[in-house]
Homo-oligomer: A and B are copies of this chain.
């Protein structure tokens, strides 16, 4: 289990919201979306983005038009729809709830500090515990 994998797993759940947020900012096309997300440290690959945009489009959360660029092939410029903007609002609210829940978990006593040398070794040398509330006789 490596840290990189864990970080990737954490990112997975928010990519959809972040793409929607970037598209909500203004019309863009996929390579630009990727650049933007990378610029805030949220790497995303082509093979992830294109299918995601297809999903968002078929759910009516974004729409696109073909536009000719100054050079190269035509681009799909995406914009958010009204439904998309409403959904993004809900996603952002859920995100804030999640952040609050996770922070509450991380703030639990003993999960706070890094291991300091000289601490009493906490590993399974705990005396047999008194049950508190859940064992109704």
Contact = CB atoms under 8 A, between A and B. Distances in A.
A134 B35 contact: yes
Contacts of A41: 97, 101
A14 B65 CA distance: 36
Interface residues of A, number: 77
Contacts of A71: 135, 137
Interface of A: 1, 3, 6-7, 9-14, 16-18, 20-22, 24-27, 32, 35, 37, 40-42, 55-56, 59, 61, 63-65, 67, 69-71, 77, 79-82, 85-92, 94-95, 97-99, 101-102, 104-106, 108-111, 114-115, 121-124, 126, 128-129, 131, 134-135, 137
